[in-house]
Amino acid sequence: MTTFLSPATSSLSSYLSPTIATIKLPVLAHNLVELRRFLAPGCEILAIVKADGYGHGSIVIAETLAHLGISKFGVATIQEGATLREAGLTGTIIVLGGIFSRQLQDLLHYQLTPVISDTDLAQQLGKALSTDQTPFPVHVKVDTGMSRLGLKPEAVLNLLDSPLFRGPLVIESLMTHLADADNPDPTFTLQQFSQFQAMAEQLRLKGITIPCLHVANTAGMVLHPQSHLDMVRPGLLLYGYLPPQHITPIPLALKPVLSLSTQIVQTRTIAAGESLSYSGAYRTTRPSRIGILPIGYTHGYNRLLSNGGEVLVENTRVPIVGTICMDMTLIDITDVPEARVESNVVLLGSQGTETISAIDIANWQESIPYEVLCNIGPRVNRVYEPLT
């Protein structure tokens, strides 16, 4: 369910669940302005919108970024790319993840751009192309230490030297992916970076021209500005977060785009010494007022937050008590007498002077803000605050 609300008329129809993710598109625009200010003029942006735009809704995010002048988008799969094309996105859509050979026709049909990190797949792509589709632009990935996707430098040289790149395929960019860019110890990142630079230099000496070099994810671009090169690939940064481990002050005033909220659907009074929710994992130590929230792990609210996370209600921080259920979560509102049915509850975001960020939630569930955001599932209604 996707709804657009103008701030002036923000009310939901009664049948909708109040468990909503509010996505402020003006904040996305603000983060993009901050990023552009930080980049050298001419450095391009490949906006990463995989995983449904990190849970923000890839279609609306990509459309908004396109409106703000972004023309390149990164997704993980053919299916994600097809979804954006079906929605009418016209920019370049780069598929960052692995591609199955059976998906090559879909790649061509939806005019998606592959990242080549497999010589066999490059051969098959060359064969699948009709003459009017060549030369077909591809990005080529070199593995400099992530050891996930990517060809080893030797294989990149062989591939780019092969007949495939003198006919059917043309290289649009050479890229690599940083494995440890948020580590305060930069050693590994610097090694990866110099290996990448050496690769680019080797190609140049062989007379192979690469129009675009790109390396940097959020942590890379923020902590290692020399990694910006011709293009950067921000994901997390656009949504308002810096790498979890960052320690150095960073000249970027980012703001979280997404907040997650719901309402108390019922309140209970429970005597001291009673157990709450499944498995009796919480026992009241005093007469307690408990609020029931219509959100659970099926919405992406992780079960690891049981007896550990906090939420905001009536401008007060209160604890989650007991085990998080499929569709419900219990909170202790004993100390917040104003809390009542229909009180707004913020699970991620701000209320009064209190704030809970995706990093706080990640710490409570021993995860990273990426996972917190991406896991906010399809049962959470998305409400968009439009650009003004």
Ligand X SMILES: *Cc1c(COP(=O)(O)O)cnc(C)c1O
The site for ligand X (CB under 6 A) is made up of 48, 50, 96, 177, 217-219, 233-237
Query: SS3 string of 166-190?
Result: HCCEEEEEEECCCCCCCCCCCHHHH
Q: Which is nearer to ligand X, 224 or 233 (CB)?
A: 233
Q: Is 278 one of the catalytic residues?
A: yes
Tally Cβ neighbours within 10 Å of residue 273: 10
Q: Is 50 one of the catalytic residues?
A: yes
**Would residue 277 be called left, alpha or beta, if left means φ above 0 and alpha means ψ between -120 and 50 degrees?**
left
Instruction: In whole angstroms, give the CA distance from residue 369 to residue 374.
Output: 8
342, 287, 286: which is closest to 313 by C-alpha? 342
Shortest spacing between CB 369 and ligand X, in angstroms: 9
Q: Which is nearer to ligand X, 55 or 234 (CB)?
A: 234
Q: Which is nearer to ligand X, 80 or 332 (CB)?
A: 80
Please tell me which residue in 110, 241, 278, 282 is annotated as part of the active site.
Answer: 278
Shortest spacing between CB 177 and ligand X, in angstroms: 5
Shortest spacing between CB 40 and ligand X, in angstroms: 18
| CA dihedral sign of residues 278, 279, 281, 287 | positive
Q: Which is nearer to ligand X, 129 or 212 (CB)?
A: 212
Please tell me which residue in 50, 110, 141, 239 is annotated as part of the active site.
Answer: 50
Amino acid at 97: G
Q: What are phi and psi of 208, to 5 degrees?
A: -90, 120
Shortest spacing between CB 118 and ligand X, in angstroms: 15
Q: Which is nearer to ligand X, 24 or 177 (CB)?
A: 177
Shortest spacing between CB 266 and ligand X, in angstroms: 38
Shortest spacing between CB 37 and ligand X, in angstroms: 17
Instruction: In whole angstroms, give the CA distance from residue 235 to residue 336.
Output: 38
Q: Which is nearer to ligand X, 58 or 217 (CB)?
A: 217
DSSP letter for each residue of 182-237? T-SS-HHHHHHHHHHHHHHHHHHHTT---S-EE---HHHHHH-GGG-TTEE--SGG
Place of tokens 């972004």: 70
Instruction: In whole angstroms, give the CA distance from residue 89 to residue 136.
Output: 20
Minimal CB distance residue for ligand X: 235
Active site residues: 50, 278
